[in-house]
Amino acid sequence: MPVSLRVGFAGTPDFAAAILEALLDSRHQVVCVYTQPDRPAGRGRKPQPSPVKLLAERHGLPVHQPERLKSEESRAALVEARLDVLVVAAYGLILPREVLEIARLGALNVHASLLPRWRGAAPIQRAIEAGDTESGVTIMAMDEGLDTGDMLLERRVAIDAQTTGGALHDALAVLGAEAIVSALDTLADDPARLPPRPQPAQGVTYAAKLSKAQARLDFDQPAERLAAKVRAFNPWPVAWAELDGEPLRIWAAEAEPQDASQAAPGTLLESDGESLRIACASGQLRVLRAQLPGGKPLALRELLNSRAGRFLPGKRFAPLEPSA
């Protein structure tokens, strides 16, 4: 008869909820859930439960939301649960050694990159932004470092010229869910089939947290780099540029390597009824979908039909200040 593990789970956003859902559908038993405290969100700024909390409550699971895990009281539920393993996915808190050692088989992390590339907070978006052609998930035995633990399992997926941050997020959530269940099955049946492997010393990169300020486009960069940034930051924080003193959020764009205009970077070159072309340090950025303040994201065809005067050739997007 297959062995079932007692699992504790710690996670917060949609990515983590997909992992939890797979665990709930597996042969293993989720006995307690940790997630971030309810945070203000939306126009009313009312406290909102995390996707993991909502899912856990629908399944009648006990939910714990400590601000930190430094006190014995905050860790009590994990101790009392007599865990075989703790599964962590995008939890948002650093786990102290006392937590990592609670479960009999330790703590496993579902990390959304092929480690050691893109350790840290935003591996999905940083991979696209950097022009990577491949991403994946790594099941990692957690230690006290920032995503430095030994690797147990990985799954890979291609990144192409249409892959957005949202699309890669969804693909990795599916892969991560499959991978963690596979890892737990193997640990329960025959741990020797899943030997931990230290991460390579070469190829380490860090995925810094995203911010709206970082989403501003710098047209003194090549068009290909800007197009990658537009895709990476869709659906959040969404790439933008300043025109006539207002932000224009850019949801979809392509890079065209040729630019014979010799116009200054950031100059609007032309609108063909379907797109805008903007001069870059090299090449042109062809904007296909954008959003004006107070409006909805629109295909450029629709935006130009109503606001063509805002996008006359020769206008120039504001350059970034040197300190930006």
Q: What is the mean pLDDT of residues 232-260?
A: 94
Is 116 marked as binding a ligand?
Answer: yes
Is 323 marked as binding a ligand?
Answer: no
DSSP collapsed to 3 states, 228-290? HHHHHCCCCCCEEEEECCEEEEEEEEEEECCCCCCCCCCEEEEECCCCEEEECCCCEEEEEEE
Percent pLDDT > 70 in the chain is 99
* pLDDT at 240 exceeding the cut of 70: yes
Walk me through the domains of the chain, giving residue ranges and CATH numbers. 6-207 (3.40.50.170), 212-318 (3.10.25.10)
Is 191 marked as binding a ligand?
Answer: no
Task: Give me the pLDDT at residue 322, please.
Answer: 66
**What is the pLDDT of the chain when averaged over all its residues?**
94
Strand pairing partners for 216? Answer: 240
Task: Give me the pLDDT at residue 324, please.
Answer: 47
C-alpha distances (whole Å) from 23 to each of 107, 109, 324 are 15, 13, 43
Q: What is the mean pLDDT of residues 99-123?
A: 97
- Backbone dihedral angles phi then psi of residue 79, each to the nearest 5 degrees: -65, -45
Instruction: Write the pLDDT tens digit of every residue in 173-221.
Output: 999 999 999 999 999 999 999 999 999 999 999 999 999 999 999 999 9
Task: Give me the pLDDT at residue 323, please.
Answer: 58
Q: What is the mean pLDDT of residues 38-60?
A: 92
* pLDDT at 146 exceeding the cut of 70: yes
Is 114 marked as binding a ligand?
Answer: yes
Task: Give me the pLDDT at residue 67, please.
Answer: 94
| pTM as predicted | 0.94
* pLDDT at 30 exceeding the cut of 90: yes
